[in-house]
Amino acid sequence: MNKSELIKTLAEETSLPLEDATLVVNTFVDAMKETLVDGGRIEIRGFGSFKVKEYSGYAGRNPRTGESVEVTPKRLPFFRAGKDLKDHINQ
């Protein structure tokens, strides 16, 4: 499912106009992004949690040429599925 399919499903199941469903989904996604950028954690009970993991830089190696490459430090989003979601998938 992609974002536009989520908007369409929300509009159909709640009888919201498509424009309102778009606003709801975009507001939700934007709020999640801002929380993660600010270093916060998001927990949706029964679904899972999101947080940002920080990775330090290191000296890597290009597998094709074998030359040494410096990998810069980075921050990446991380999702951990909740117990209810895992149980639902494994039924």
* pLDDT (tens digit per residue) in 32-76: 999 999 999 999 999 999 999 999 999 999 999 999 999 999 999
Are the CB atoms for 47 and 74 separated by under 8 Å? no
% of the chain with per-residue pLDDT over 70: 100
- 31: how many CB neighbours lie within 10 A of its CB? 11
Calculate the average pLDDT of the chain.
96
Nearby residues of 36 by Cβ (< 8 Å), 6 or more positions away = 42, 50, 51, 52, 77
Q: What would you measure as the largest C-alpha separation in the chain, in angstroms? A: 58
Q: In angstroms, what is the C-alpha Rg of the chain?
A: 19
Q: What is the pTM of this model?
A: 0.80
Q: What is the dihedral of CA 84, 85, 87, 91, to 10 degrees?
A: 130
User: Which pLDDT does position 76 carry in this prediction?
Assistant: 96
Whole-Å CA distances, 84 to 21, 45, 46, 47, 48: 26, 8, 5, 7, 9
